[in-house]
Amino acid sequence: MMNVAVQDRAAPPWEPAQTEQLELYRQLQLIRVFDETVLELRTAGEVEGVVHPYIGEEAVAVGACSQLRPDDGLTSTHRGHGHCIAKGADPKRMMAELFGRRDGYCGGKGGSMHIADFGIGMLGANGIVAAGLPIACGAALSYRMTGSDRVAVCMFGEGAVGAGPFHESMNIAQLWQLPVVFVCENNGWAVASPPEQILAPESVTALAAGYGMAVEQVDGNDVLDVGSAARRAVARARAGGGATLIEAVTYRMVGHAYRGGDVAEQRDAKLLESWRQRDPLLRLAARLRRDGVDESALDAVAAAARTEVDEAVAFARNSPYPEVGDALKGVFAA
């Protein structure tokens, strides 16, 4: 009989102080405004290449990263702007990367799909679905081998669950009891396919539970629900209790990828509206209002996010382009 350790939902939920909740709200707003702006800049052609907006899914990154220390690891995906901001990356350097400028995190060599700040524990942002899972396991292994209590968090979508590296990583993380937290952003779309077209089991947690892993399914549009689950999973990993998979059920409000002139996949209007009602920003704002936060305070957070993104765009526009000779540098370490 398989021993399935399901997280104890009866454990006390995370109850952050109001100032902490306002900080979560600030991050949600910043990610939303950042990606809405990037989408506009892409449509206008000022940002080139492809962008994958995170609009609608912000609570997953913010909730998961709310429980991390700066030295904890994080692997990100092609839809990674929100992961970066939640882990503490500087929007100015992110935007400069999107503009292909010298001050970008990767000096203009990475672009939207590969923005990452290794200085805050990130181990890259991956354009290959499911590729980040083994990398996160390797980071977790290194923490264990060096006697550190660091934790690696791996972000991925439910589209990764059908791929081999997902299963190899589940098996090895559980076998070796690695300090890793797998955060599956089940956003309802594997590129253009809904889960019923790509997943045999009824949920991602059911698959991970089959490996004997601790699992938890949460409301991915409720930052406090995600944060509570992440708090339990991170504590378990730090204490040597092994891996956890959190399935955060959310919804991608916009299309998969934008190269300019793209349109989102055909959506059911009622479904889209039902998710709009569950917008993670609106929900945290409602909670804060209920707890007595002034409307003006919420407006101030939104205005500050707008200002910060505007400053990031100005910074990116003013950043110099890389020298063409830089293209040939950095293939190998000296």
Partner 1 sequence: MNGTQLSYAAAVDGVIADEMRADERVFCMGTSPPPALVSEFGPERARTTPIAESAMTGMAIGAAGSGLRPIVLWSCVNFSFVAFDQVVNQAARIRYMFGGQQDFPIVFRARYLNGTRSAAQHSQTAYALYAHAGGLKIAVPSDAGEAVDLMRLAIRDPNPVLFFEPDRLAGDTVAATERAEPRPLGRAAIRREGTDVTIVAIGYMVPLALRAAHRLAATGVSAEVIDPRSLVPLDADTIRGSVQRTGRLLVVDESMPACSMASEIVTAVVEDTASCSALRAAPRRLCTENAPVPFSGVLEDFVLPGEDRIFEMARELSGDVLERAASFV
Question: Would you tell me which residues interact with partner 1 (CB under 8 A)?
Answer: 73, 75, 104-110, 114, 116-119, 123-124, 126-128, 131, 133-143, 145-146, 152, 164-165, 168-169, 171-172, 175, 329-334
What is the token pair recorded at 321?
Answer: 């382009």
* C-alpha 94 chain-centroid distance: 15
What is the token pair recorded at 115?
Answer: 């923005």
What is the token pair recorded at 112?
Answer: 């939207």
Task: Give the Cα separation of 316 and 314 in Å (integer).
Answer: 5
Taking the complex as a whole, the smallest distance from the CB of residue 208 to partner 1 amounts, in Å, to: 15
Taking the complex as a whole, the smallest distance from the CB of residue 62 to partner 1 amounts, in Å, to: 23
Q: Which is nearer to partner 1, 135 or 249 (CB)?
A: 135
Q: Which is nearer to partner 1, 100 or 195 (CB)?
A: 100
* Cα–Cα separations (whole angstroms), residue 53 to 45, 179, 189, 274, 325: 16, 29, 13, 20, 31
Taking the complex as a whole, the smallest distance from the CB of residue 265 to partner 1 amounts, in Å, to: 26
Task: Give the Cα separation of 73 and 243 in Å (integer).
Answer: 14
Taking the complex as a whole, the smallest distance from the CB of residue 309 to partner 1 amounts, in Å, to: 22
Task: Give the Cα separation of 88 and 122 in Å (integer).
Answer: 10
* Cα–Cα separations (whole angstroms), residue 216 to 21, 24, 187, 189: 22, 21, 16, 20
Q: Which is nearer to partner 1, 153 or 298 (CB)?
A: 153
Q: Which is nearer to partner 1, 135 or 254 (CB)?
A: 135
Task: Give the Cα separation of 62 and 80 in Å (integer).
Answer: 12
Taking the complex as a whole, the smallest distance from the CB of residue 169 to partner 1 amounts, in Å, to: 6
Q: Which is nearer to partner 1, 25 or 166 (CB)?
A: 166
Task: Give the Cα separation of 270 and 266 in Å (integer).
Answer: 12
Q: Which is nearer to partner 1, 200 or 331 (CB)?
A: 331
State the DSSP code for 51. Answer: B
Q: Which is nearer to partner 1, 33 or 68 (CB)?
A: 68
Taking the complex as a whole, the smallest distance from the CB of residue 155 to partner 1 amounts, in Å, to: 14
Task: Give the Cα separation of 137 and 315 in Å (integer).
Answer: 36
Taking the complex as a whole, the smallest distance from the CB of residue 119 to partner 1 amounts, in Å, to: 7
